[in-house]
Amino acid sequence: MAITAAEPEAAATARSFGPAVALSCRECEERYDLGPRFACEFCFGPLEIAYDFGTVTRASIERGPKNIWRYADLLPVPADVASLPNMNPGLTPLVRADRLAAELGLRSVHVKDDSGNPTHSFKDRVVAIAVEAARTFGFRTLSCSSTGNLAGAVGAAAARAGFDSCVFIPAGLEEGKVVMAAVYGGKVVALDGHYDDVNRFCSELIGDSAGEDWGFVNVNLRPYYAEGSKTLAYEIAEQLGWRLPEQIVIPIASGSQLTKIDKGFRELIALGLVEDRPYKVFGAQATGCSPVARAWERGHDVIQPVKPDTIAKSLAIGNPADGPYVLDICARTGGAVAHVSDAEVVDAIKLLARTEGIFAETAGGVTTGVLRKLAAEGVLDPGAETVVLNTGDGLKTLNAVDSGVTATIKPSLDAFKDAGLL
């Protein structure tokens, strides 16, 4: 490991990570002590958290805080996590979307609207877990490579928890995302290139002395960070009345979120918290960055990297690390991976706004667009209970929609009537 972190690692105790007991290689199952590691030393596979869950009941969860810490017994965090300074995301609305469902010819649709998180994207969930790991390991600076939402989530969480922060983004991101990353007072460094270049840069930095005492939430803290996405699965099931949805549409950037929602569903089944019944997972990409959907269409199990060209910048990862796992999950559950054009993304943002009053980021346009497409093609079962994720906020991608005032007039009744607006 390039990380020199003997001192930080020494600070961690078993209790620092609650029910988590080890890191385990997703490929070869080699185990490691819980530390700031992310790749297997033997096969270079990604490391995941391994747990030894105690007794967890619906009642014990329902008694918990009204945020993700109600699921602390299922996460790599200390039992007293709710008392520590953290953004405390989660328990975002699961919106019953009857008007959207009617328009698409579906019986039951719910929108899991993660724009309700503190910095208005699902990234607050994953960062919240990474912050606890960074605290345990004694890191002083939080960092990340980001397509925008993560930078804001890291900036805010670092401020709340008292870390320094330095985040890396591709140049040319939406203004809302840049300001939201910078306003918390940390450093925001734009790199000339795509997200994949930013990611590569961070991997170099982490191997250099300059970055050795930094907690990169999505690199050396990634095993912890990624577990935050499981809370989406837990919340959806709890909010449906402790039931898994029959179909779920999830966006794909790196693919991590989709794999962790699947993991969360399987944990709930294994713990007896929900009935074991089939669910189908559908992955959604923008056509301009659809390496996983292309592999799916072609029946390949290897992802061919692409150079992203889409307005859905938060999903613009051309070389998605978890792509192969996504293909596995969609195949295993009987789902699919599909993509929609930028024009369809914009239409879908407006559809969701017009029918349900939810102003989604472009990523939410991708999932809603894929929902519409797969419903029209008959790939989705119209009678099955369906959940679609909105992972971000339209306010951060204002330029995607051309909405503006209907008219500007003088403030008089005559002017109003003359304007032909009635």
Q: Does 39 bind a second copy (CB under 8 A)?
A: no
Q: In this chain, which of 20, 47, 101, 169 binds a second copy, going by CB under 8 A?
A: 169
Q: In this chain, which of 129, 144, 198, 250 binds a second copy, going by CB under 8 A?
A: 198
CB-nearer residue toward a second copy: 147 or 290: 147
Q: Does 363 bind a second copy (CB under 8 A)?
A: no
Listed in order, strand segments (DSSP E) in 146-273 are 164-170, 187-191, 214-216, 247-251
Q: Does 104 bind a second copy (CB under 8 A)?
A: no
CB 82 within 8 A of CB 95: no
Cα(253)–Cα(4) distance, integer angstroms: 30
Which range in 274-282, 284-292, 365-373, 399-407 contacts a second copy by CB under 8 A?
399-407
Q: Does 403 bind a second copy (CB under 8 A)?
A: yes
Binding residues among 113-142 for a second copy as defined by CB under 8 A: 113, 116, 118-120
CB 325 within 8 A of CB 337: no
Q: Does 359 bind a second copy (CB under 8 A)?
A: yes
CB-nearer residue toward a second copy: 311 or 337: 311
Strands 214-216, 141-145: pairing is: parallel
Element at 47 (helix H, strand E): strand 47-51
Minimal distance, residue 387 CB to a second copy, in Å: 17
For residue 339, CA distances in Å to 46, 275, 285, 342, 389 come to 26, 31, 5, 10, 15
Q: In this chain, which of 64, 193, 324, 382 binds a second copy, going by CB under 8 A?
A: 193
Task: Name, in order, each residue with C-beta under 8 angstroms of 64's C-beta and a sequence gap of 6 or more.
Answer: 70, 71, 72, 82
CB-nearer residue toward a second copy: 168 or 282: 168
Minimal distance, residue 99 CB to a second copy, in Å: 7
Q: Does 396 bind a second copy (CB under 8 A)?
A: yes
Minimal distance, residue 244 CB to a second copy, in Å: 21
CB-nearer residue toward a second copy: 89 or 320: 89
Q: In this chain, which of 11, 43, 171, 270 binds a second copy, going by CB under 8 A?
A: 171
Count interface residues toward a second copy (CB under 8 A).
80
Binding residues among 207-226 for a second copy as defined by CB under 8 A: 208, 210
Which range in 150-158, 258-266, 333-341, 378-386 contacts a second copy by CB under 8 A?
150-158
Cα(293)–Cα(276) distance, integer angstroms: 28
Q: Report the chain's terminal Cα–Cα distance, integer Å.
A: 68
Q: Does 28 bind a second copy (CB under 8 A)?
A: no
Q: Does 201 bind a second copy (CB under 8 A)?
A: yes
- Answer left, alpha or beta for residue 284, where phi above 0 means left and psi between -120 and 50 means alpha: beta
Q: Does 59 bind a second copy (CB under 8 A)?
A: no
CB 62 within 8 A of CB 237: no
Residues in the chain: 422
Cα(409)–Cα(105) distance, integer angstroms: 39
Minimal distance, residue 191 CB to a second copy, in Å: 4
User: In b/e form, how buried is each residue of 67-94, taking b as 16+ CB within 10 angstroms?
Assistant: bbbbbbbbbbbbeebbeeebbbbbbbbb
Cα dihedral 114/131/319/335 (nearest 10): -40
CB 142 within 8 A of CB 134: yes
Q: Does 63 bind a second copy (CB under 8 A)?
A: no
Q: Does 357 bind a second copy (CB under 8 A)?
A: yes
CB-nearer residue toward a second copy: 85 or 383: 85
Q: In this chain, which of 22, 39, 273, 401 binds a second copy, going by CB under 8 A?
A: 401
